Amino acid sequence: MNSLHTYLFIALVLFCIGLFGLLKRRSLIGMLISVELMLNAVGLNFMAFNRFLAPDPAVGQVAVLFIMGIAAAEAAIALSLILALFRKIRSINVEQARQLKG
């Protein structure tokens, strides 16, 4: 097992933990944290491929910077929506938000 595989494996584990958390958690903040884990797994993947395989060492780094920037915007939108939901139903548990059905 060379070191590229180690990184890829760690990223995959991180991604799966994130996905599991997203499906398992009922609190919206917990779900948001899980999403961040998944995004970081992607970043790790890009950096690992970039370091070991890519001829041009800048591409992966740029990709990771973009992902981090967009993840920040995403967190801002998610938190504001969670806040709006809390104001209305006094809870951030997804089980409580179930008026839409069918």
Partner 1 sequence: MAGDLMLFLPEAACLLMALTLFGLSLPKHQDQRRVHSWAMGLSLLMVAAGLAGLFQEGHLFFEAYRVDLFSQFFKLLLAVALLLVLGICRQLTGVEERYQPEFFLFLTTCTLGMMLMVSAVELMTLYVALELSSFSLYILVPLRSGDNIDVEAGVKYLFIGITASCLMLFGMSYIFGAVHSTYLARIADTLPLWIHQPGAVIGLLLTLSGFFFKLAAFPFHFWAPDVYQGAANQVTTYIATASKAAAVALLIRLTALSAGTSLYLLDVLMVLCVASMTLGNLAAMVQSDLKRMLAYSSVAHAGYALMGVLTMTRLGYSSAMFYTLAYMVMNFAAFMVVVKVASQGQDLKISDLAGLHRRAPLLALTLMLALFSLAGIPPTVGFTGKFLVFAAAMRDGHFWLVLVGMINATLSLYYYLMVIKAAYLTEPAEPQESLAITGPTRALNYALIAAMVALGLFPRQVLELTEKAVRNIF
Give 47's Cβ-side CA count (13 Å radius). Answer: 16
Residue 39, strand partner residues = none
Angstrom distances, CA of residue 81 to CA of 2, 14, 22, 77:
43, 26, 17, 6
Axis-axis angle for helices 28-52, 58-89 (nearest 10)? 180
Residue 38 CB, shortest distance to partner 1, in Å, is: 4
Considering only 27, 81, 93, 95, the residue that binds partner 1 (CB under 8 A) is 81
* Binding test (CB under 8 A) with partner 1, winner from 10, 17, 33, 94: 94
Q: Which residues bind partner 1 (CB under 8 A)?
A: 8, 11, 15, 18-19, 22, 28, 31, 35, 38-39, 41-42, 45-46, 48-50, 53-56, 59-60, 62-63, 66-67, 70, 73-74, 77-78, 81-82, 84-85, 88-89, 94, 97-100, 102
